[in-house]
Every structure is written in C-alpha cells, then in structure tokens.
Amino acid sequence: MLKNFAANSISTTPGKAARRKAHPMHLGVLLATFGVFSLRHSSSSSVFVQRASASSAQWPAHWAAIEEMRTSGAGVASPVDTMGAEALAISGAGSYRQGKAFRFQTLVSCMLSPQTKDAQTAAAFRNLVELCKPLDMTSDALARFTEEDVQERIKMTSFYKVKAKNLLNAAHLCNDKYEGDLPLRIEQLLEFPGVGPKVGFLTFSIARGEDHGICVDTHVHRIANRLGWVNTIQAKSNGPEKSRKALELILPKEKWGAVNGLLVGFGQSICEAKRPKCNLCLLAKEGSGCLHYGALNASSSSSS
C-alpha cells in the first residue's frame, strides 16, 4: 500500500515533461501512521523516503512514560485490562491465579485471541465457560464436547473452526499426556496445534509465571517500531516474530512478561494504529525519541 501510494504520487504519463509532486505532508503522515519514521527528503523525486535512525537505547525512558500513562493517565482503561487473557482466566477460575483450571483457561483464552478483538475473545471464552457448567472449564470438561459444540460458542472469533479443533486437541493432549494440566516445559506446549511462540509464551507467563519469550502482537510490533526500539516494519513476512527476536536482544528478561500488557493497553487507548492520540501522549514532544511524532513534525515543517 505504501509503495503504491508513493508510486502514484509521481506522474509518469508519456509525453509530459512535468511531474506531479507528491505532497510531503500527506506522504509523511501516511508513513508515520504505519509506524515509519525519520524521513529524508529526496531531491530527485520530492518524495520523503523512509530512514530508520533512532536508537533503542531510549527504551527505559519510553517505558517509564508509558507506565505512567497506563497507571494514571489516558491509558488507564484499556480493553486488555478487563478482557485480556489473564483477566479472562482469572474470571473463569474464580479469581485464583493457580491450579489446573486457571492454567487451562489461560491457554484457552490465549488460543482464542489471535486476530480477534478482545471483546470477541471475551465473549467466546465466556460462552465456553457456560458450556462446561456446572463444571469448571478444565481440559476434562471441555474434552467432553464436539467440535460443532465448540464452534457454535466461539464463532465470533476469527478462524473459529480451526480454533475449535485446536482447542479440543489441546484439551485431549492435556488429559492424555499431562494429567489434565499444562505441560511443564514450554517446548512441549509449543508442540500443540495452534500454539506458536506468541500464544505459548503468553500462556506460560500468565499460567506458570515463567517468561520464555516476549509475546508480540500487532500492537507491540507497531509501537516498538514507532518508538525506534526495533526496525522491522518493512519485514515482508512475519514482522511480529522478527520484532520479538529483536526486542529480546534489548529488553532485560525481567521485563519480558510485562511487555505485552503494557504496550497492548497503550496501543488500544492512545497509540492507535490509524489515528494515534498524540495529544494525550507524554512521548509526543521534541526530544522524546518518538519517531512517529518526529515524522509528523518533519512532514508539517516541509509543507509549511
């Protein structure tokens, strides 16, 4: 999309010497919106081109500002806080952060969430809790139902048929191999169908308090690039996974478990994908190192 926008901004009509210039403000804002930053003016085409320049060394200051916004600022109330995987698992397991039911429900909520909004994930999770009643939603309780039963309860999620199959496979694996519990080793959980690094790492972080990797979704991927912590926005495939590996090189391991909740909440409430609320953000100022804000300022200055 960005490539097409830039290409279409310059006229290449045969027989015409004049070239229609791309408006630097429009292109700059578009690139910034998608997490692209530090723009340099090209004298040959009058088009701003992408140049990543910020250092990841500023992440501690960014982290502190985001924490402040998430605890006392505009980012306090975010869907992830009430409908994220941890909140759902606690609600389904009677507020206990331990036990087989809590651990399995953590896995269920994490497996439901990919490419699905928190509200839909929460609705699907609660439907499964109701399906299992009067029993708690354990692996044994869920395994009693058919794929069609599960599909009907989670059809508000994306790829619900695949997820229904994977959830029942997970329930049977927990029952047959791990005494109705999650595996003790992350490598074993990652062998479950439908459990990749994102789901597996988040599940273990919440259910077992073990951080084996950072859970990177679209919010984390976008914000880490906007702030210059990583430079993976141009990745042609699997950008979030590339962001995960880059983030694990710069963030201390004791921060890994907090990354997802912190940045997802920030992304949902302030640093949105298409219309970030820079007027509410503590990082939207000169010298903060926010590359998104810097790109907007560069575009605005060039057009004035």
pLDDT reported for residue 17 = 39
Higher pLDDT, 17 or 196: 196
Spatial separation of the C-alpha atoms in residues 32 and 22, rounded to whole Å: 16
Three-state DSSP class for 16? coil
Q: What mean pLDDT do residues 112-141 have?
A: 94
Full set of structural domains in the chain with CATH: 2-55+288-303 (no CATH), 79-212 (1.10.340.30)
Range picked from 32-46, 161-175, 194-208, 249-263 for highest mean pLDDT = 161-175
Mean pLDDT of the 146-159 span = 97
Q: What residues have CB less than 8 Å from 180, skipping those under 6 apart?
A: 100, 104, 138, 139, 140, 174
Q: Which of 28, 220, 58 is nearest to 232 (CA)?
A: 220
pLDDT of residue 300: 57
Q: Which residue has the tokens 């994102």?
A: 198
Lowest mean pLDDT among 89-98, 100-109, 173-182, 240-249: 89-98
Which residue among the candidates 21, 117, 177, 198 is catalytic per the annotation? Answer: 198
134 upstream amide cis, omega within 30 of 0 = yes
pLDDT, tens digit (0-9, with 9 covering 90-100), for 243-264 = 999 999 999 999 999 999 999 9
Give yes or no: 198 in active site: yes
